[in-house]
Amino acid sequence: MTRLVLRVLAALSVIAGLNYIVWRWTSSLNWGAWWIAVPLVIAETYSIIDVILFSLTIWRMSERDKPPHAPSGLTVDVFITTYNEDPELVLATAEAALAMRYPHTTWVLDDGSRPELRAAVERIGARYLSRGEEWVGKPRHAKAGNLNNALQETQGEFILILDADQVPYPELLDRTLGYFNDRRVALVQTPQYFGNVPENDPLGSQAPLFYGPIQQGKDGWNAAFFCGSNAILRREALMQLGLTNYVSDTERRVRRALAVGSRVVRRARRRPEARDPRVASLLESVERAIAEGTGRLKAGGSIGEATYTVQSQVDSAVRELVAGDLARMTGDLAAIRTELGVEDDPGEDLEGLDTAVDRLAARDLSPLGALESVKAVLDAVSVERLHEAQPVMPLSTISVTEDMSTSMRLHASGWRSVYHHEILAVGLAPEDLPSMLTQRMRWAQGTVQVMLRESPLTMRGLSWGQRLMYFNTMWSYLSGFAAVVYFAGPLAYLLFGILPVTALSPDFFARFIPFMVLNQLMFAWAGRGAKTWRGQQYSLALFPTWIRACTTAAANVWFGRPLGFAVTPKARQEGGVSPLRLVWPQALMAALLVAASIIGIIRWVIGASQGLGTLVNIVWAVFDLVLLSVLVGAAKYRGYDAVAEADPEASSVTQNDASPARKSASLGKQDAYPGEKNAVSHTKEER
């Protein structure tokens, strides 16, 4: 019955939304103020698409029964990833991991290579692993590189990945390994829950919608994805993925290298030294070899055959040229020695040797330009990945959010995933505004990187449902641009009396109000009592973060500008940047909205604007201000300990008090994976 009601609400919301947006495009645009009217209707269209995608997500919400029994005899490696976290924090997680009931091996993967942590880890009975010399001077790929290194050094059939702060329950493996009885299951994801979050959740860390209806909905489409921690993966699937991507990446590089090599050789043939018949013959041989190698690839031949064809023929041509040069040089040296009267070792006549070298150097015996071109081709078509620390990278390295990219590739390869809706670990959320912004920025940047580099809409192997589920998460980060337009709407009318619609007519309200009511009902029913308001606030309030994430990620993908990687601090950061400096765009926008509301009232009093228009836009401005107000509490927040001391009853469960009774609490990440949001009005439910 619950699913039926949800589907009815979803269908009605989509119908009402389409009815509203079609009318907006066809009958309501104020073309006299196109500069605000067109951006606003585009922003509304964006939000309607969000509604449609969210409706599709919850249409197939999975409700799994009791998990299958975990078979005995499986080998499991537990990876606890760390870089610069407090050793006490890491050890607490390691001790809890060692206490899990199902037999396993616990590894601490220290990307900080700290000897003192190694000693402490080994003292409690866990194993320690850091990167070797092969990584020196090579791309490290942050957390993905750390995990890829560990996969090469361990052998367990299954991998449990935990962040340094995620303390597992003893039954975690017993409750999840049974899903792998299905040989096509590669991933089991469990919720992320934070024990240091007060009930009012000032930083929006808890996510009762994502780790619940949204992940359950994705699970129904076989699109529940890896969220970086509290997940178990099948090693076979990861290694297969690494090999497959190695082959496809190598093929792409070889195709690109052959195309570039062909252009290089054509340019070399136009150089003056190419007039030498020997050089011309060499370059012609190289060009034929590249053409043959390219032809083999187009015909479906292997990469090895294509590269061997090019390299062997080029090597042969180069050897022939060099052999000819050496023969001529030998003859010239003999003639010079005879001419100079040197009969034995030419080193005995240093002055005569210098003369010989000068004469040889004056002759153009070595076509260096052509040889450089040949060497470039040989280097380019090499199948070795000498630029990487290891040739096979099972976890994706194309983004700072390796988790989403990896699971998308797994799904495209035919593997299945499972979302297990039960809290089985308790972690630590950011404890101040700067840390939270660092975390959200990294999530957003990584997700946009994946969208631009490997769009789910074009990735082969994904079903249409999987494409839309992944695209929904990526698409959500464009909300920052829509938010700016939603702020500009009330400002335009209250300050200048400009309406983006032709009129606030009965037609407008007859379409807009039913859509909003149905959308809110659908959202509330899907949340099943979860506190989702904080997510709605942050969806709009963090608009500068979303915009910056999109622009910097695009600059990284398109122009190679570095992003950097920052680990989210697990404790409050003392000192540093003032919170006001971090949120000055939001503060400025709030000031403009307040000033515009006052001016709007004055304009209405003196008869310069309509009463209905003023009322509607003031309500709109107040709504925006209420959403922005979340940053006031975030800036004042001094961490969980401060809240617990002031009001113990208002604080949430700590890691040491994570009782099983808490597992029945409403789950879900209302800020859809690192950032996925659900549009319930002109704002969206942000992760």
Residue that wins the pLDDT comparison between 349 and 336: 336
Q: Domain locations in the chain?
A: 76-242+391-429, 244-380
> What is the per-residue pLDDT for 354?
55
Q: What is the pLDDT of residues 40-61, one digit of tens each?
A: 999 999 999 999 999 999 999 9
Task: Please tell me the predicted confidence (pLDDT) of residue 645.
Answer: 63
Which is higher by pLDDT, 215 or 292? 215
Neighbours of 9 (CB within 10 A): 21
pLDDT tens digit sequence for 546-570: 999 999 999 999 998 887 655 555 5
* Stronger pLDDT, 676 or 587, i.e. the higher one: 587
The residue ranges of DSSP E strands in 339-451, in sequence order, are: 416-419, 425-427
202 is written with which tokens? 């000032």
Mean pLDDT of 25-46: 95
**Phi, psi (rounded to 5 degrees) for 636:** -85, -15
How far apart CA 411 and CA 471 sit, in angstroms, is 14
Q: Please report the pLDDT score of residue 385 as a whole number.
A: 75
User: What is the band of 379 on the pLDDT scale with cuts at 50, 70, 90?
Assistant: low
Helix intervals (H) in 569-662: 579-582, 584-605, 611-628, 630-636, 640-646
Residue 670 Cα distances to 421, 555, 655, angstroms: 14, 29, 21
Amino acid present at 286: V
Q: How far apart are CA 424 and CA 170, in angstroms?
A: 8
Using an 8 Å Cβ cutoff, are 429 and 194 in contact? yes
Predicted local confidence at residue 517, as pLDDT: 94
What confidence tier does 612 reach under pLDDT thresholds 50, 70, 90?
very high
pLDDT greater at residue 308 or residue 672? 308
Residue 186 predicted with pLDDT over 80: yes
| Highest-pLDDT range among 173-177, 268-272, 636-640 | 173-177
**What are the angstrom distances between the C-alpha of 102 and each of 71, 91, 169, 232, 523?**
10, 19, 11, 13, 39
3-state SS string for 140-158? CCHHHHHHHHHHHHCCCCE
Least confident of 39-43, 100-104, 287-291, 520-524: 287-291
Tokens 């090579």, located at residue = 138
Three-state secondary-structure class, residue 162: strand
| Opening angle at CA 533, ends 529 and 537, nearest 5 | 165
Average of per-residue pLDDT across 517-533:
84
Instruction: Quote the CA–CA distance of 249 and 572 in Å, as a whole number.
Output: 41
Report long-range pairs for 272-277 (Cβ below 8 Å, ≥24 apart). 273/364, 273/367, 273/369, 273/370, 274/367, 274/370, 276/364, 276/367
> Under DSSP, is residue 231 helix (H, G, I), strand (E, B) or coil?
strand
Cα separation, 168 vs 92, whole angstroms: 10
**pLDDT of 276 above 80:** no
CA dihedral sign of residues 297, 300, 304, 310: negative
- pLDDT tens across 157-168, in order? 999 999 999 999
> What pLDDT does residue 340 have?
67
pLDDT band at 363 (very low <50, low <70, confident <90, very high): very low
pLDDT in tens, 429-470: 998 899 899 899 999 999 999 999 999 999 999 999 999 999
What are the pLDDT digits (tens) for 104-147? 999 999 999 999 999 999 999 999 999 999 999 999 999 999 99
Q: How far is CA 220 from the centre of its chain?
A: 23
Burial 619-645 (b: 16+ CB within 10 A, else e): ebbebbeebbebbeebbebeebeebbe
Mean of the pLDDT values across residues 473-478? 92
- pLDDT at residue 366, as a whole number: 43
Average pLDDT taken over every residue of the chain: 84
Helix, strand, coil shares of the chain, percent, nearest 5, are 60, 5, 30
269/183: higher pLDDT: 183
Model confidence at 360: pLDDT above 70: no
How does residue 686 score in pLDDT terms, banded at 50, 70 and 90?
very low
Query: What percent of the chain clears pLDDT 70, i.e. is strictly above it?
Result: 83
**644 phi and psi angles, rounded to 5 deg:** -65, -40
| Architecture of domain 76-242+391-429 in this structure | Alpha-Beta Complex (3.90)
pLDDT in tens, 227-274: 999 999 999 999 999 998 888 888 887 887 788 778 877 877 777 767
Cα distance between residue 658 and residue 683, in whole Å: 33
Q: Quote the pLDDT of residue 176.
A: 97
